[in-house]
């Protein structure tokens, strides 16, 4: 399973790329594989205030509808408009396709998340 080194990971299978005070968020290769063909991504509004743990995004696949949780608190900054017409981009390139980003109000909330080695071990323990 593909797990890039430079990202942080949550137990609910989101990846986070930290760019200064901004957290760029997507879902992992494991998550897109488990979801199957993605058919719709319901985005948050720009500037929406989110609290760590909120259901910020909903992803619908041919199998299920699943929430993507906000891994940190803050305000929604950018959303990936391409996903409106081509949600399958997440299936094709899970790490190259961000879903949205958050301007963080408390970057220390990132501290508890896993690095690549930790997430790999977490996935193996799930098997």
Partner 1 sequence: MKIEPDQLTAFEGTRPGAPGYRFPDADIPTGKASVPGTLRRKTPAALPELSEIETVRHFTNLSRRNFGVDLGFYPLGSCTMKYNPKLNEDTAALSGFSALHPLQSDEDSQGVLEMNGRLIEGLCEITGMAGGTLQPMAGAHGEFTGMKLFRAAFRARREEKRTRLLIPDSSHGTNPASAHLAGFDVVTIPSGADGMLDPSALDPYLDDTLAGIMLTNPSTLGLFETSIQEVADKIHGAGGLLYYDGANLNAVMGRTRPGDMGFDVVHINLHKTFSTPHGGGGPGAGPVLVKEDLLPFLPVPVMVRAGDGWKRDWDRPQSIGKVSGWYGNTAVLVRAFTYMLSMGGNGLKRASDLAVLNANYLLASLKDVYNAPYPGPCKHEFVLSAKKLKDTTGIAAMDIAKGLVENGIHPPTVYFPLIVHECMMIEPTETETKDSLDHFVDVMKELRELADTDPEALHQMPQSTVVRRVDEVRAARSPVLSHMMIGDRPD
Which residues are near partner 1 by CB under 8 A? 34, 36-37, 39-40, 60, 62-64, 66, 88
| Cβ partners under 8 Å of residue 6, min gap 6 | 17, 116
Q: Which is nearer to partner 1, 66 or 109 (CB)?
A: 66
For partner 1, the closer CB: 77 or 122: 122
Quick one: which of 75, 59, 68 has its CA closest to 23?
Answer: 75
Cβ 18 to partner 1 shortest distance, Å? 27
Count other C-beta atoms under 10 Å from residue 57's C-beta: 23
| Nearest approach, Cβ of residue 24 and partner 1 (Å) | 26
Counting runs of H as helices and runs of E as strands, what totals does the chain give?
Answer: 4, 9
The least distance separating partner 1 from the CB of residue 66, rounded to whole angstroms, comes to: 8
Q: Contact, 55 vs 65, CB < 8 A? A: no
Identity of the residue, 61 or 101, whose beta carbon is nearer to partner 1 in the bound complex: 61
Question: In whole angstroms, how close is the CB of 82 to partner 1 at the nearest point?
Answer: 15
């Amino acid at each position: 399973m593909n797990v890039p080194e430079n990202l942080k990971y949550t137990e609910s299978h989101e990846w986070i790329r930290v760019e200064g005070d901004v957290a760029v968020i997507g879902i992992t290769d494991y998550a897109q594989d488990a979801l199957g063909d993605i058919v719709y991504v319901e985005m948050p509004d720009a500037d929406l205030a989110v609290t760590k743990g909120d259901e910020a995004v909903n992803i619908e696949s041919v199998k299920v509808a699943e929430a993507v949780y906000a891994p940190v608190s803050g305000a929604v900054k950018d959303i990936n408009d391409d996903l409106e017409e081509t949600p399958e981009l997440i299936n094709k390139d899970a790490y190259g396709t961000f879903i949205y980003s958050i301007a963080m109000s408390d970057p220390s909330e990132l501290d508890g998340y896993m690095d690549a080695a930790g997430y790999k071990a977490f996935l193996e323990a799930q098997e």
